[in-house]
Amino acid sequence: MELKFVGTGSGKTSLKRYHSSFLINSGGYNLLVDAGDGISRALMNQKILFNFIDGILISHLHPDHYTGLPALIVQMKMNERVNPLYIFCHESNSEFIKEFIYQSYLFENKLGFKVNVQSFQQDKIFEASDGLSFTARQNSHLERNISFDKSKRLSFSSSSFLISVSARPSLDGKVNERNIFFTGDIGEQKDLYIFNDMKIDLMISEITHITTEELIDAFRKLKPQKLYITHLSEEDENKVSKLSYQLPIEERRKVVAAFDGLSVKV
């Protein structure tokens, strides 16, 4: 399995980093996690072919996590895609995503390939492909916005994920499964423990909405083999840089400030 960080920036547009997004290559399936503004250029910057992507997982509906979808679909059309594209989103957002694509004049009979919007539910295992599944759990990232929605039109779904990737059986018949905990954008410290009842091999966490102290405390309690810090603004870069000097040497090797293009074989 290979993990590649396509973008590692925060919601604030930067010339140094694209918005937060990463690609999981399980060997037989390629899942892009989040597709915010500029995702097409971000993929080109990492020399990732548009048609290499099999599915796209959307964590929530902030613009830096989903608004690059129509432009990416257009690029796939221009590159003569024929294979179906799967878009995974929470069940409360699926009709909106379908309408968003339709309102972008992306009609299936003109695209040349099928766009399948599939909805997941919280706390239920979703099989994206053979050997790649994920479980979503609601976090508190959007809770503070609920009072502003006077019309009660919005779902405020924001998910953290445990993504499970199973390698092919080894010679002894054992299946090697790796669990990646992706916090997504979160609201507070408690969201870091949303999967504390599960085995976590790797942890990918945003840093914008929590402190480095809260994150390192969770890292020590959850005990993943590695922690990758993403969703970095320039301000975040400074606090993460200071963190690396404060950690003991044995932890310093396990805590990585991600950067655009970072590739990890797992």
pTM, two decimal places = 0.95
Q: Pick from 33, 73, 70, 82: which is nearest to 50 by CA?
A: 73
The per-residue pLDDT for 7 is: 98
From the number of C-beta atoms within 10 Å of its C-beta (0-12, 13-18, 19+), residue 90 rates as buried
Q: Could you say which of 3.60.15.10, 2.40.360.20, 3.40.50.720, 1.10.1740.110 is the CATH number of the domain covering 2-144+153-265? A: 3.60.15.10
pLDDT per position as a tens digit, 217-250: 999 999 999 999 999 999 999 989 988 788 999 9
Q: Where are the domains of the chain?
A: 2-144+153-265
Residue 101: its H or E element: helix 94-102
Helices 69-78 and 94-102 pack at an angle, to 10 degrees, of 50
Mean pLDDT, the chain, whole residue set: 95
pLDDT confidence tier of residue 176, bands split at 50, 70 and 90: confident
